[in-house]
Amino acid sequence: TSAKLTLLGLGAMGSALATAWLAADYDITVWNRTASRAEPLRTLGAQVADTAADAVAANDLVVACLLDDASVRSTLDGVDLTGKDLINLTTGTPGSGRELAACATARGARYVDGGIMAVPPMIGVPDSGAYVFYSGSAAAFEAHRDALAVGAGTKFVGEDPGFAALYDVALLSAMTGMFAGVSHAFALVRKENIDPREFAGLVSGWITAMSGYAHGIAEHLASGDYTTGVTSNLAMMVEGNATMLRTAHEQGVSPELLEPFMRLMRQRVDDGHGDEDTTGVIDLLLSRR
Ligand code: NDP
């Protein structure tokens, strides 16, 4: 491991990472397409490269934190990657991670993809809960483990370079469903004389209390039997759905965020699985595309 690295991309996330490395006394070389964004980091002690090629040439460890897959490709176009360890923290898909890995490897680099589970204010803050999924070259990850652990925790999830993005996007997808449910809940109470701040505490507490749902699903997926230990069966839940939809109607709230999931639950009951929980919805999702 060395205390030297190059960082490409100084947006909100890149700048937060750069600041954390500088605070930990790392010797960093930075590059950003819009040069002015590098000035605050120069003041903090970063070397500022004029071109991406110069930045990459400066160190063996090269971290990219750019907007998307396309900006990574265009930034590295024509840049000599021989002998480099490229750690790509830019959010992408599993497929784009695998493609970039193949491309970087063909150009003589070791490739590690990363998926950042944090927002910039959490970076470099002890116990913030920030971490990054990594996958790809285990050797490159091991070689730079200390440097990568400076701004956030590290979780290596395998040598498939698509896995970091897969885990990242899977968790973001779970979050999106949660955001949808919370939005619907606030819509239900919006027109009443209910203090949204007080209500938020109740919503947050309830979501936390229900978070064991993931473990219940996992047990059923592992055993293949979706009926054991079911405390709320699907037939009962589908009746509950009707109450939720009627309440939405009474409160003048569109049911559009709830309906797609409820349709799948109903389908499972109609298919004869009323004694299970919602695990079977996963099978439906996989069979309907
Ligand atoms: P910003 O929009 O703040 O910054 C985007 C960066 O990408 C800038 O440095 C920008 O340069 C650069 N860029 C955009 N297009 C190009 C291009 N064509 N060529 C070269 N550089 C380009 O985004 P963030 O820093 O917030 O995010 C960076 C990555 O981190 C993204 O993939 C994002 O998904 C991921 N991430 C961000 C999180 C967040 O909460 N912010 C959370 C988790 C992951 P310029 O200054 O010239 O525009």
**Cα 110 to ligand 1 centroid, rounded to whole Å:** 22
Rg (CA), the chain: 23
Which CATH architecture describes the domain 212-287? Orthogonal Bundle (1.10)
The 10 Å Cβ neighbour count of residue 198 is 8
The 10 Å Cβ neighbour count of residue 173 is 10
pLDDT of residue 289: 66
Q: Is 15 in the pocket of ligand 1 (CB under 6 A)?
A: no
pLDDT of residue 174: 97
Give the model confidence (pLDDT) of 268-281 as tens digits.
999 999 999 999 99
- CB of 226 within 8 A of CB of 276? yes
* Residue located nearest, by CA, to atom 10 of ligand 1: 11
pLDDT for 181 beyond 90: yes
* Residue located nearest, by CA, to atom 17 of ligand 1: 71
**Cα 52 to ligand 1 centroid, rounded to whole Å:** 15
Q: Is 255 in the pocket of ligand 1 (CB under 6 A)?
A: no
**Cα 30 to ligand 1 centroid, rounded to whole Å:** 14
Locate the domains of the chain by residue range.
4-166, 212-287
**Cα 120 to ligand 1 centroid, rounded to whole Å:** 11
How is residue 28 written in tokens? Answer: 């960093």
pLDDT of residue 1: 44
Q: Is 67 in the pocket of ligand 1 (CB under 6 A)?
A: yes
**Cα 218 to ligand 1 centroid, rounded to whole Å:** 34
Give how far Cα 238 sits from Cα of 197, 226, 263, 277, 284, Å.
30, 16, 9, 11, 16
Give how far Cα 142 sits from Cα of 51, 110, 166, 178, 204, Å.
28, 12, 21, 35, 38
Ligand 1, from 15, 66, 68, 72: best to mutate by most atoms within 8 Å of Cβ?
66
Q: How far apart are CA 50 and CA 8, in angstroms?
A: 11
- CB of 169 within 8 A of CB of 115? yes
* ipTM associated with this complex: 0.99
DSSP 281: H
Give the model confidence (pLDDT) of 84-137 as tens digits.
999 999 999 999 999 999 999 999 999 999 999 999 999 999 999 999 999 999
Q: How far apart are CA 56 and CA 58, in angstroms?
A: 5
Quote the CATH superfamily of domain 4-166: NAD(P)-binding Rossmann-like Domain (3.40.50.720)
* Residue located nearest, by CA, to atom 48 of ligand 1: 34
Torsional class of 203: left (φ above 0), alpha (ψ -120 to 50), beta (otherwise): alpha
In single-letter form, the type of residue at position 232 comes to: S
pTM: 0.94
